[in-house]
Amino acid sequence: MDVLIQIVASGLTLGAMYAVATIGLSLVYGSLNMLNMAHGAILTLGGYICYAAIVHAGLHPALALLAAAFVCALVGLMIYFSAALPLLRAENFETNIFIATIGIGSVIENLMLKGFGPYPIPQPLAVDGQVVIGNVHIPLQNVFILGVAIVLMVGVAILLQRTSAGRAIRATSMNREAAQLMGVRVGRIYAQVLALSGALAAVSGIMISSIATLTPVMGGDPMLKAFIVCVVAGLGNVYGAVVAAIALGLLEAATQYVLGVRWSFATLLLLVILVLIWRPYGLFGKQQVVRL
């Protein structure tokens, strides 16, 4: 029983971090058909901004988190205006933006390397203490991460389902031309989605670095896993991504316990291959049912 509690606790923490890392990626793909390869670098930048805001600027951790989210939202806007907007006007947008964001990610990574150095730095935004369930000691940091992730996921769900702006984002992702005919300014929606994705990546980066350490290349692994979650859920399916992220987090924790840490990533990749064979459009990215 204790083992199960430990696996569930670790799995939920991992899944919550993957979910927050994936939501932004999925939103951007769903709206713009854009695979944002700079997502991992933005995520790392969020972690460093939070670190700098607390250690160098002396800000309260909550303000540091907001500052990181704000800066990364601005980076998202910068990506829209400097790369996505001009490339949207040309052909082969999906390929061109894929390559462009690899370049942007590389620039951000190198700026962090220059600014903070290559050595691991601990993230000061940490919660001390632990919760005891049976014989299992769960760090409060993990509970905090889960709590923040739930708040963010609920917030994004309310935004998308209950607000006019959220409906416009969903409408644009379903049919750009129809959204324009409803009076939606799609360029503004794209900018908003990239800014929101940047802010979510920042929070994700802070959470991940709070249980590991900050390095300029730390975003690579979570971005790869976010892509795995996106593929398993179905590219662009935000709600499916949350469920898939939690499930993959639990699977990863179970694999690490049963088979060992070195098998966890291989298991995720095997799962992706199986999903792509069984349902090429993802577990939740079901083919559109339209009566003819």
Partner 1 sequence: MAEATLEIVDASAGYAGRIVLDAIKLSARKGELTAIVGPNGHGKSTLLKAISGLVPVTSGEIYLDGLRIDRLRPDQIVERGVIQVPQGDLLFPAMTVHENLLMGAYANSDGLAERLDFVFTLLPKLKERRNQTAGTLSGGERRMCGIGRGLMAGGEVLMLDEPSLGLAPIVIEQIYEVIFNLRREGRTILLVEENAERIAEHADMIHLLDNGRIAWSGLGAELMARPEIVETYLGV
Residues that bind partner 1 (CB under 8 A): 164, 167-168, 170-171, 174-175, 177-185, 288-292
Smallest separation (angstroms) from partner 1 to the CB of 161: 9
Element (H, E) at 130: strand 130-133
CB atoms within 10 A of CB 143: 17
Element (H, E) at 274: helix 264-278
Smallest separation (angstroms) from partner 1 to the CB of 238: 11
Q: How far is CA 195 from CA 14, 79, 146, 189, in A?
A: 24, 9, 23, 10
Q: Which residue, 38 or 233, has its beta carbon nearer to partner 1?
A: 233
Smallest separation (angstroms) from partner 1 to the CB of 280: 19
Smallest separation (angstroms) from partner 1 to the CB of 67: 33
Buried-exposed string 183-222: b where 16+ CB fall within 10 A, e elsewhere: ebebeebbbbbbbbbbbbbbbbbbbbbbbeebbbebbbeb
Place of tokens 């790392």: 44
Smallest separation (angstroms) from partner 1 to the CB of 88: 14
Smallest separation (angstroms) from partner 1 to the CB of 91: 10
Q: Rounded to a whole number, what is the distance in angstroms from the first to the last CA of the chain?
A: 52
Q: Which residue, 237 or 255, has its beta carbon nearer to partner 1?
A: 237
The set of residues, in sequence order, having a beta carbon less than 8 Å from that of 196 and lying 6+ positions away, is 24, 27, 73, 76, 156
Q: Which residue, 62 or 289, has its beta carbon nearer to partner 1?
A: 289
Q: Which residue, 17 or 189, has its beta carbon nearer to partner 1?
A: 189
Q: Which residue, 150 or 159, has its beta carbon nearer to partner 1?
A: 159
CA atoms within 13 A on the CB side of 257: 15
How many H helices and E strands in the chain?
A: 12, 2
Place of tokens 């692994």: 221
Centroid of chain to Cα 233:
14
Smallest separation (angstroms) from partner 1 to the CB of 284: 12
Q: Which residue, 130 or 175, has its beta carbon nearer to partner 1?
A: 175
In 117-263, where does DSSP find H-type helix? Answer: 140-162, 164-174, 176-181, 186-211, 220-233, 238-258
Q: Which residue, 68 or 169, has its beta carbon nearer to partner 1?
A: 169
The two structure tokens encoding residue 182: 């409803």
Q: How far apart are CA 100 and CA 81, in angstroms?
A: 12
Q: Which residue, 128 or 177, has its beta carbon nearer to partner 1?
A: 177
Smallest separation (angstroms) from partner 1 to the CB of 285: 11
